[in-house]
Each structure stands twice: as structure tokens, then as C-alpha cells.
Structure 1
Amino acid sequence: MNNDDWLARRFEENRPHLRAVAYRMLGSASEADDAVQESWFRLSRTDTSDVQNLRGWLTTVVSRVSLDMLRSRTSRREEPLDTDSVEPAAGGPDPEREAILADSVGPALLVVLDSLAPAERLAFVLHDMFAVPFDEIAAILGRSPAATRQLASRARRRVQGAEVPNADAARQRQIVDAFLAASRNGEFEALLSLLDPDVVLTADEAAIETASKAPTGPWLAPVVRGAGAVAEMFSGRARAAQAAIIDGVPGMAWAPGGRTRAVLKLTFTADGAISAIEILRDPETVAGLEVTLLDA
């Protein structure tokens, strides 16, 4: 095996680690890939015969590349998590990408990290997440170890004191959108996949009375239990419903002309399944809710 093949093999062995470092630094899987690729270019052009710790050398390189990318962001702020980081590649799941995400800091904390200055972010990520010594981080930043320690300390205080956004809300909104699409298209199996097996649906008297007058006849009961029964009720329906935030939680609403007439309040399990649906149509009850319509 020649030296180029050996370097390529060693680089591939370290690729997941390098992508993890770059991802935490940049908060974008596509940019992390770019940073790792640039690291390979630099490795292939460098004489590393005297490098005793190739993993440490590569970590330094990908950190410097990521730092340059962070500093170049002048016209826009990056989103904390891009679509490449949550959607599988066209050819199927990417094990390395999934490993990075499974071991990542999560989208909520990435929002906080994105508020840090580039030097603060690098010091915090390398030291607190990858246990890189301050003297090595200082060499990357061109500062003294004491100054680098202060950067990490300041970043740590900001991270610990920040109000981390509720990452569950975004996932719950996705579930609502998927539920509405499956309901409208009559996709029974898709509805089942979104419901907890023991889901309970309840409806107030006003909702039941309105449903009894529908052209298709009575279809709504005061209490319905189980994913199969609930999915059957909604399959092919919800055509006029839209996503909404109801008392701070993603749900659904019926709002002809922009005026909310009925709501479906949802409760979610820890893993994101819908465990309860409450259909409310009583005017006084609906008026007492804080409802924000999300789409038409």
C-alpha cells in the first residue's frame, strides 16, 4: 500500500469525527461536508511524515477551516439545522451522517451556539465537547491559553444561561402537517403511524351536533379510543382544517374566512406520537383559547 492509499484510509477512519467537529462548529451538515472535504485537500497536499497524531492534526485543520467559514458569514446568519441534516440522502440512509446527528448537540442548543462569536464557539466546542486542551485551541486561534480559557468560559456562561428553544415544537408541527395530509388523502396507514396505540379522542356537544348535520351523516362520537378507530374517523376528512398553534401547542383549526370556529387540541407523547385529540366547537370555549393560524 503506497502512502497516498494509507493517508486516504486513515482519513476515512477519521471522517465521522471530523464531520462531528465541523457540524458542531457550523450547525449545517452541508457546510460540515465542505469543511471535511477541504481538510482532505489540505492533507493530500501536505507532508505529514513528521505528524505523530494524525487525528489531532486533522482536528486542528477542520477546526481552522470551520473557523474561517464562520468568520466569512457576513450577509446572513445560518439556520441551526439545514434540511440535509434531517433528510436521508437520495441513495438511502447515510450511516456516518446519522451517527453525527444521533451524537449531535441537537437543534435547540445549536441555536444558542449560533449566537456565539466564532472564537467563542470554537473554544467552547473543542474544549467542552471534544476535550481538546486549551493550549492546542490557543494555537488555532492565535491567542494565549489564558485568553482562550476565558473565551470558553464566557461561551459556557452564555450557553448555560440561554433559554434554549423548544425543539419539540418543530417536530410536533411536522406531525400536524403529516396528519392533515394523510387525513385529506385517506391514507389510513399513515394516520396510524402518527397516533399512539392508546390515543383517546373526545369531542364537545357542539362538535358532535355539527358533525351529525354533515351530508355524510353522523361520524363523531363523544369518546373514541384506539389508533385504529381514530384513524378510521379521520381518513378522508379534515379537508377544511389547517395547522394552528393552540395555547402554545401545535394543533389544528377550522377557520373559514380566517375566523376560528372549531379547534382540535393535541397532546403528544415524548417520542412525538399523538396521544389525545380534543375537538372543541363551543363558541365560548373556542373564544377563550389563544389560537394562531399557521396556513390557509
Structure 2
Amino acid sequence: MTTQSDQSEPDLNAIMSERRQLINLAYRLLGSLADAEDVVQETYARWYAMSREQRDAIESPGAWLTTVASRVCLDLLGSARARRERYVGEWIPEPLPDRTEWISGRPGGTAADPADRITLDESVNMAFLVVLDAMTPAERVAFVLHDVFRYSFAEVAEIVGRTPGACRQLASSARRRIRAAQAPATPAARRADIVRAFKQAWEAKDIDALVGLLDPDATGIADGGGLASAVLHPIEGGEQIARYAIDIVARVPELTILERTVNGEPGLVAQRDGVIVVVMAFDVAGDRIRHLWAVRNPEKLRPWTVEPRR
């Protein structure tokens, strides 16, 4: 005899199998893993708020879930600008938690709780996310859905409520922003060498070596989320960034600096008393670091400081 729970189980499995895809999408759209997980929870809540008959009438549950999640993200992006105006200091996308070390530019091992984490590729590196964050909500959604997730412009139009032609223009505008921000590609192994050299010079308090690794026009941005000691504005210039880095280790000598994968790229984390207090991402162009992002906001570091689920 087939029970009602037996009949609903395949439905549950099919629906829950979409979770990773939805997290992948929402993180790229919002730049926050916490917000992405909230969006997915809201999406599933809307699915199960429907009657069984209404759910059975949906031809493609995966497409329905993607449409709803994208629209929730679009609404959040519209309100995010107002929230950012009240944010204390600079805002940086939330770095993805990854406890693995890297060797010669190749991340090693697997991230904690891989089923719940983002696929680490070039569309989640920090430089890419920072450019996405500068786009209008409609540009960001159209570009991510079409260029990253390969939805047709007809499908994108259905999701964002615009014509396919308008969505094509939005994605084209976003593409121009991406191209304008991109630097000539630096081999992965070379990027790793430069970040490792930065770590060694930082630990040695070698300001000349740090200056040599930083582009003269480099920019350093810290996201402290309101911490009293946080830098509220970007630091402009390689020498200024180097001096600030030296000042940090002079004031906090008990910092331990470790090589870690940050959004799929070689990065660094700083620990104090065994707890991660800073996560750093780098943008390397040629043989120099041109952007450095340091996340200190404890809320954004929470996924890095909690033990992974077993």
C-alpha cells in the first residue's frame, strides 16, 4: 500500500536537490552567504505555502524556484542601497568560508560542508563580486542569470519583468563594466607566489618588500562593520597600504597569519588567540597587488569562526 508520505517523498527530494543551485545563484546576486540562505529559505516557504494541487500543476519546479529566488533577490538588492547608506565604513561582499590552504595557486582539499557551499570559480572571486556590487540591481540580475547561469534572455525577461531586448541591453552594460575592471590575467601560480611573498614581508615587517609587491596606485579597503578601530575609508597608494599593514602587526603582535583560499583565490587570514579576525582577498595584476580587501566585520566572519557541521 502506498501512503501519502511515500507519494510526497520524491517531490521533496526533487525540490531539495535544487538547494545548491539556488544558493549559488543568490550568493552571486547578493554577495552575502547569510542573505543567500535566507532567500532560499523564503523560496521554499513560498513553495510549501501552496497546496499540493498547485505544486503539481507547476511543470518545472526548478524553474519556478529559480524565478522566485531571483525575484526575492531583486527586491533585496533594491533595498540594499538604502541599507548601505547606513552602513558604517566600507562594505565588502561576504567572503566564502574555506578552511583549506593553497599551494602554488591551487586550492587544496574541499571546503567544509560542501553541499552547502558555493562552487568556487571565477564568478565568485572577490574582484568579480565587487564589480557586480557596483551594478544596478537589474543589471546584476540580468548578467548573472544570462552570462553565469546561461538562462536565455526570454527566461530572464520573465523573471525580472522586462522585455528580452531590455535584458540583453542590461547584460551588455554589465559586461562592459566587467571588462573595464579586468586586469590582464596573471597565472594562478604567480598570484599565489605574490600573496605568499606579501605574507612573508608582512610577518617580517619589511616595508620595502611590501611596497615592492603593491602597485603604486593600489587600493586597500577594510570592512569593519562599525568596529571602533576599523578604517572607514579606502587606503590609496601602495606605500600607504604597506605602512598601515606594518602598523597593524606592531600594535597586535600576537596575530598569526595563515594562507587560506578566499573565494577560490589565494588569500590570507589573521588569527588572534586561535580565532579568525581578518580575512583578506587580493587582486593581482602582472607582478603587483592592485586591490586588497580585508573583512573584519564579525558578522561576516561568523561562518569562518564556527566549527563546520559533521
Whether TM-score is above 0.5 comes out as yes
1:66 to 63, 73, 85: 73
CA shift digits 1:66-106 (9 cap, x unpaired) = 111111111317844314x1245xxx811124452357431
TM-aligned CA distance change 1:7 to 1:104, over 3 Å: farther
For 2:197 and 2:15, the matched residues in 1 are separated by 37
**SS at the partner of 1:116?**
coil
**SS at the partner of 1:132?**
coil
Letter in 2 for 1:86: P
Q: Is it true that 1:141 corresponds to 2:148 in the alignment?
A: no
1:254 Cα deviation after fit: 7.7
Q: Which residue of 1 aligns with 2:132?
A: 113
1:143 Cα deviation after fit: 1.4
CA shift digits 1:218-249 (9 cap, x unpaired) = xxxxxxxxxxxxxxxxxxxx5xx477832243
Query: Where does 1:1-296 land on structure 2 (aligned, <5 Å)?
Result: 1-2=5-6, 4-46=8-50, 47-73=54-80, 74-76=82-84, 79-83=91-95, 85-87=96-98, 93-102=112-121, 104-163=123-182, 172=195, 176=199, 180=203, 241=205, 245-249=210-214
For 1:149 and 1:254, the matched residues in 2 are separated by 47
For 1:21 and 1:272, the matched residues in 2 are separated by 23
Cα contact 2:74–2:138 (8 A) shared by 1: yes
For 1:106 and 1:172, the matched residues in 2 are separated by 15
For 2:45 and 2:142, the matched residues in 1 are separated by 24
Q: How many percent identity over aligned positions?
A: 39
Question: If you compute each CA radius of gyration, which structure gives the higher value, 1 or 2?
Answer: 1
Root mean square deviation, CA, Å: 3.8
Cα contact 1:109–1:164 (8 A) shared by 2: no
Cα contact 2:23–2:118 (8 A) shared by 1: no
Letter in 1 for 2:62: R
TM-aligned CA distance change 1:12 to 1:179, over 3 Å: farther
| TM superposition score normalised by structure 2 | 0.53
Detail structure 1 runs of 4+ shifted over 6 Å in the superposition: 250-255
For 1:51 and 1:111, the matched residues in 2 are separated by 36
For 1:174 and 1:75, the matched residues in 2 are separated by 37
Letter in 2 for 1:72: S
For 2:201 and 2:36, the matched residues in 1 are separated by 29
TM-aligned CA distance change 1:4 to 1:174, over 3 Å: farther
Q: Which residue of 2 aligns with 1:233?
A: none
Cα contact 1:67–1:118 (8 A) shared by 2: yes
Letter in 2 for 1:45: A
Worse-superposed segment, 3-12 or 108-117: 3-12
**SS at the partner of 1:101?**
coil
1:140 Cα deviation after fit: 2.0
CA shift digits 1:2-35 (9 cap, x unpaired) = 4553333222211111111111111111111111
Letter in 1 for 2:212: D
Letter in 2 for 1:172: V
For 1:174 and 1:33, the matched residues in 2 are separated by 36
TM-aligned CA distance change 1:98 to 1:179, over 3 Å: farther
Structure 2: 5+ residue stretches without partners: 100-110, 215-240, 251-264, 268-310
**SS at the partner of 2:138?**
helix
